[in-house]
Structure 1
Amino acid sequence: MEHVKDFLAEEDGVGVVEVILILVVLIGLVIIFKSQLTNLVNSIFKKITSQSNGI
């Protein structure tokens, strides 16, 4: 019975599960907002390119 209590009290894998859940949420957000992110990055690079021509 003590082995079961020790096993349930052990929290070594909790950090790994948290990191995996955070990664899943971030990947989901990137997939959902992919077109908006692409448009934003493209507009930033166009602005950089146009302003660098003036230098």
Structure 2
Amino acid sequence: MLTLAWGKVKDFWKREDGLGMLEIILIIAVIIIIAVLFRDELLRIVKNLLNKVESKSDDVFNKK
């Protein structure tokens, strides 16, 4: 079963009718533009998540 799935993945990767280089570059460019536009919001979310992780880890390690 796994070898069949792996064979299909290899076949899909080798096919020439998939995405071209231009399409991949455009997708990456759009992702970068979105990240730059929402940079402040993304940074706020990441900082909030890291603060939650820090407070939860402090709770776990300080309860002895």
Q: Which TM class, normalised by the smaller chain length?
A: 0.7 to 0.9
Displacement of 1:25 after TM fit? Answer: 0.2
Task: Report percent identity of matched pairs.
Answer: 34
**Higher RCO (Cα < 8 Å, 6 or more apart):** 1
Q: Which has the larger radius of gyration?
A: 1
Q: Report the number of matched residues.
A: 44
* Large movers: runs of 4+ above 2 Å: none
**Distance in 2 (alpha carbons) for counterparts of 1:34 and 1:18:** 24
Consecutive unaligned residues of structure 2, counting only runs of 5 or more, are 1-15
RMSD between superposed Cα atoms in Å: 1.8
Consecutive unaligned residues of structure 1, counting only runs of 5 or more, are 1-10
**TM-score, length of structure 1 as denominator length:** 0.74
**TM-score, length of structure 2 as denominator length:** 0.64
Q: Which amino acid aligns with 1:47?
A: K
* Cross-structure match for 2:49: 44
